[in-house]
Amino acid sequence: MDKFRDECGVFGIFNHDEAARLTYLGLYALQHRGQESAGMVTSDGNKLNGFRGMGYVSDIFKEPQLSGLPGRSAIGHVRYSTAGGVSLREAQPFLVDGYRGQIALCHNGNLPYASQVREELELSGAIFSSTSDTEVVLHKIARSREPDLVGAIVDTFTEIEGAYSMLFLTRDRLIAVRDPRGFRPLALGKLGDAYVLASETCAFDLIDAVYLRDVQPGEVLVIDEEGLHASYPLPKERHSHCIFEHVYFSRPDSIVFGRSVNKSRHKMGQQLASECPADADIVVPVPDSGTAAAIGYASQSGLKFRFGLVRNHYVGRTFIEPQQSIRHFGVKVKLNAVRDLIEGRRVVLIDDSIVRGTTSKKIVQMVRQAGAKEIHVRISCPPTKASCFYGVDTPTRDELIAANKSVDEIADFIGADSLGYLSLDGMLKACGDAPGSRHCTACYTMNYPLKVTRSARTKMEREEGVLAVESMWPRH
C-alpha cells in the first residue's frame, strides 16, 4: 500500500522470570511498527545474550531461541529501516563489549546527523559493523570520559540531536532515554514487580501489564534492583510529538503521547465530516487505518457506515509482487469491494492519507467497478507535502502527489468525484492539541522542529531547497 512506513518498535522488561517470553509477546504486539527484522537481548545478571533475525517475530523466535535467552531482564526491537541498509547486520538490539562492560541498545527514531558524526569517527580510526545510525551512539558512549554509563549517555545526547526513544540493557540495569522533543513515543508500565517499557501500550495489554506513564521528553529513566530513577538532564526543547502516530502509525488500541489513538481518529472523522460534508448514501473506510475516522465521519454526518471494502489480512512479506502487465492485482490481493453494499450508491470513501496517489487511484477504480454511483474521497489529515527526517520512511517531495498537485488535480488523478482533506487546525484539535503547541506536523507544513545542516548526509540533502538550513552541528 502507498503509505508512509512505520519506523521501529522497542520493548523492555526488568525483573521478571519470563523476560524473554514476555519480550517476544511485546514485540509481537508491536509487529506493525517494523517487519524487516527483529531481535532481543536478555541479561541473566552476569552476561548478556542476544538473538536477531530477518522477518517476522514469530518466524525468528521459536522455542530453541527463547530458551537460549536466559535472565530476568530484556530489551527487544522490531525494525523497518529508516536509516542504513536492510540486512542482519542492521538488525537490533546491538550488543557490544566496552570498558564499562556489555551494553545492548535498541532505537526507535532517526539521528539526522549520524552520518556526519560517523565520518568524523571513521577519520579518527573507528570501525563500524553496520550502516545503522544507531551504532554511532555506541561509539560516542565508548569515547565519553564520564565514568558511568548514564553520564556517558547524557554526554552523547547533549551533543547529538535527533529523534530517539532508546533502550539500553546492561548486566544489572535497564535504561530508557527519550529525546527532548519527544518525537517518538515510549511508555512505562508495570507487571507485578516488573517494570516494562514499550513504544505503544498495546504491548502492555497483551501481557496484562498496567500503563503507568510516558517516559517524558528529555528523560533518562534508570531501572535497577532498587526501582526507578528518573532524571531530566538533556537540554529542554519544545515538544514535537509525531502527529502521524495518531493519524496512521500506531494501533488504535494504544495510548500514545498520553492519548487514545482511537479517540483521536474518531474525532478526526467527526471534524472531517463538519469541514468536508458530502451528499452521499454511505461511508466506507479504507481498512484498517481509515476505519476509526470513518466511524467518526458517519456519526457526525448521520450517513450509514458500511464495510464496503474488505481487507485480506493474510498477505505477508512473501507475496510475490505482480508484473507491470497485471499491476492492478497488487491492490486487489489486499482489498476487495463488496458489490452488494456499494452498487448504485453514492459513497464517501475515508482514508488516512494519500502519499503518491497510485493506490488511491486503484481503490477508487475498484469501488467504481463495484457499481458506485459517485465516489467522494475524504482524507482524515491535511495534504502530505513533505518528507520526514525523524524516523519515518517517506518518499521525496517529487513523489508526494500533494507537493506537486492541487486538491482538484489530485481528485482528477485518482478519479474521484470530489476530494476533501481535514484542515491542520482540525487535525490538531482532534488530537487534543492547540495549533502548533506540542506536535510535529512537518510533513504537512514543512515546519521542521529540528533543523538540518547542509552537511548532514542523509536524504535531507535531496530536499535542501525546501528546508530552513541552519548550522546546529556541532552543538558545542
Selected range binding ligand SF4 among 338-346, 384-392, 396-404, 463-471, rule: CB under 6 A: 384-392
> With b meaning 16 or more CB within 10 Å and e meaning fewer, what string describes 66-104?
beebebbbbbbbbbbbbbbeeeebbbbbbbbeeeeebbb
**Residues numbered 391-420 forming contacts with ligand SF4, rule: CB under 6 A:** 392
Q: Considering only residues 257, 390, 413, 421, which one is a binding residue for ligand SF4 as defined by CB under 6 A?
A: 390
What do you get for the CA distance between the two ends of the chain, in Å?
43
Rounded least distance, CB 55 to ligand SF4, Å: 25
- Closest to ligand SF4 by CB, 94 vs 183, is 183
**Given 3-state DSSP classes, what are the helix, strand and coil percentages for the chain, each rounded to the nearest 5?**
30, 25, 45
- DSSP code per residue over 50-112: EEEEES-HHHH--HHHHHT--SSEEEEEEE--SSS-SSGGG-S-EEEEETTEEEEEEEEEE-T
- The distance of closest approach from Cβ of residue 447 to ligand SF4 in the complex, given in angstroms and rounded to an integer, is 9
Spatial contact of 174 and 73, defined as CB atoms under 8 Å apart: yes
Taking CB under 6 A as the binding criterion, the range among 54-62, 250-258, 268-276, 386-394 that sits at the site for ligand SF4 is 386-394
Contact call for residues 358 and 410 (beta carbons, < 8 A):
no
With CB under 6 A as the contact rule, which of the stretches 147-155, 388-396, 402-410, 429-437 interacts with ligand SF4?
Answer: 388-396
3-class secondary-structure state, position 212: strand
Residue 333 and residue 319 in contact, taking contact as beta carbons nearer than 8 Å: yes
- Using CA atoms, how far apart are residues 47 and 395, in angstroms rounded to an integer? 42
Contacts with ligand SF4 in 424-463 (CB under 6 A)?
440-443
- Using the Cα atoms of residue 4, residue 88, residue 123 and residue 99 in order, give the sign of their dihedral: positive
Would you call 53 exposed, middle or buried from its count of C-beta atoms within 10 A (0-12, 13-18, 19+)? middle
Please give the residues from 205 up to 264 whose contact with ligand SF4 meets the rule CB under 6 A. 242-244
Query: How far apart are alpha carbons 146 and 157 in whole angstroms?
Result: 13
The nearest distance, CB 94 to ligand SF4, in angstroms, is 23
Which of 198, 366, 377, 388 is close enough to bind ligand SF4 by CB under 6 A? 388
Cβ at position 69, least distance to ligand SF4 in Å: 32
Least distance to ligand SF4, CB of residue 240, Å: 7
Cis-peptide, bond into residue 288, ω within 30° of zero: yes
- When the beta carbons of 276 and 443 are compared against ligand SF4, the nearer one is 443
Q: SS3 of 432, please?
A: coil
Q: Which is nearer to ligand SF4, 390 or 421 (CB)?
A: 390
Give whichever of 156 and 353 is closer to ligand SF4, judged by the CB atom.
Answer: 353
Shortest Cβ 281–ligand SF4 spacing (Å): 34
The residue of the chain with the least Cβ separation from ligand SF4 equals 388
Distance in Å, CB of 407 to ligand SF4, minimum? 19
Site string for ligand SF4, 164-183 (x = CB under 6 A): -------------------x
For ligand SF4, the closer CB: 169 or 443:
443
Q: Rounded to an integer, what distance in angstroms lies between the CA atom of residue 378 and that of residue 89?
A: 42
Closest to ligand SF4 by CB, 342 or 386: 386
185 and 167 Cβ atoms separated by less than 8 Å: no
Per the annotation, the verdict on 106 as an active-site residue is: no
Integer angstrom CA distances of residue 243 from 201, 355, 429: 17, 16, 11
DSSP symbol at 139 = H
- Given the residues 8, 276, 431, 440, select the one marked as catalytic: 8
Size of the site for ligand SF4 (CB under 6 A): 11
280 binds ligand SF4 (CB under 6 A): no
CA distance 467 to 401: 18
Shortest distance, CB of residue 460 to ligand SF4, whole angstroms? 12
Nearer to ligand SF4, 244 or 257 (CB): 244
Q: Which is nearer to ligand SF4, 342 or 402 (CB)?
A: 402
> Which residue has 522488561 as its cell numbers?
13
Q: Which of 170, 179, 67 is nearest to 450 (CA)?
A: 179
- Where do contacts with ligand SF4 occur on this chain (CB under 6 A)? 183, 242-244, 388, 390, 392, 440-443
Active-site residue set: 8
